[in-house]
Amino acid sequence: AQKITQTQPGMFVQEKEAVTLDCTYDTSDQSYGLFWYKQPSSGEMIFLIYQGSYDEQNATEGRYSLNFQKARKSANLVISASQLGDSAMYFCAMRERTSGSRLTFGEGTQLTVNP
Amino acid sequence: DAGVIQSPRHEVTEMGQEVTLRCKPISGHNSLFWYRQTMMRGLELLIYFNNNVPIDDSGMPEDRFSAKMPNASFSTLKIQPSEPRDSAVYFCASSLFRLGTSGYNEQFFGPGTRLTVL
């Protein structure tokens, strides 16, 4: 079974609007972490935001926030006030306590911000 | 601060040749990861090291692939002999791993090596 599922291969949003990128995960561990990475067309992988399974509040980093719904096993990324530079591939990833340092990545969502 | 350094950034080689990719992790990090990214398979973990010791190499495709980490500041990924299906972007990443946690130890990625095998 897929551990990380990103059901949106592509998303479009108008500049200055908010967008939500979906991520659901599957784990039997009680302790785990969820990460979002951005990969622009230049190819580098950029860490955006982290949410721990025991964190009671949703993580926020500037215009990025993580809508963490533990019971539903979802960790959606919300980007507010989209900018043209946000156009990129976005990957959700999970680290489980029992898997050591390993991160498991989803297939990614290609976000396009239209002017 | 220097990030993860990979070399070369681009490599074009012919089928059958040996290819060596190099990685210098962030100083102080104790975990190092090699990933491969293709359109078909997405981002795959090939192998990772903790404290220079290979922990999980289950993602290494076959015996043609080998990885070493002789010290904390250097790792290589070698493909011998290379095949056209090895064409991909290879990323190296590093992190600071703390035993017994699943916490905030994000992986920092290098810029990647784009490998083309003709």
For the stretch B56-69, pLDDT in tens is 898 898 899 999 99
Q: To the nearest whole angstrom, how far is the Cα of B82 from the nearest Cα of chain A?
A: 23
Closest partner residue to A45 (CB to CB) among B55, B109, B114 is B109
Q: What is the mean pLDDT of residues A33-43?
A: 94
Question: Chain B: which residues have CB within 8 Å of chain A?
Answer: 31, 33, 42-43, 45, 48, 50, 55-56, 89, 91, 93, 95, 97, 100-109, 111-112, 114
Residues in chain B: 118
For the stretch B13-31, pLDDT in tens is 999 999 999 999 999 999 9
Which of these, B81, B84, B101, lies nearest to B16 by C-alpha position?
B81
Q: To the nearest whole angstrom, how far is the Cα of B18 from the nearest Cα of chain A?
A: 24
For the stretch B82-110, pLDDT in tens is 999 999 999 999 998 776 555 567 889 99
Give the model's pLDDT for residue B103. 55
Interface test with B, best of A36, A51, A101 (most B CBs within 10 A): A101
CA distances A97 to A29, A104, B13, B48, B98, Å, are: 7, 12, 40, 16, 11
| Strand residues in B1-118 grouped as ranges (E) | 5-7, 10-13, 19-24, 31-38, 42-50, 53-56, 65-71, 74-79, 88-95, 108-109, 113-117
Provide the sign of the torsion angle of the four alpha carbons B90, B92, B98, B101, taken in this order. negative
Which of A25-34, A70-79, B104-113 shows the lowest per-residue confidence on average (mean pLDDT)? B104-113
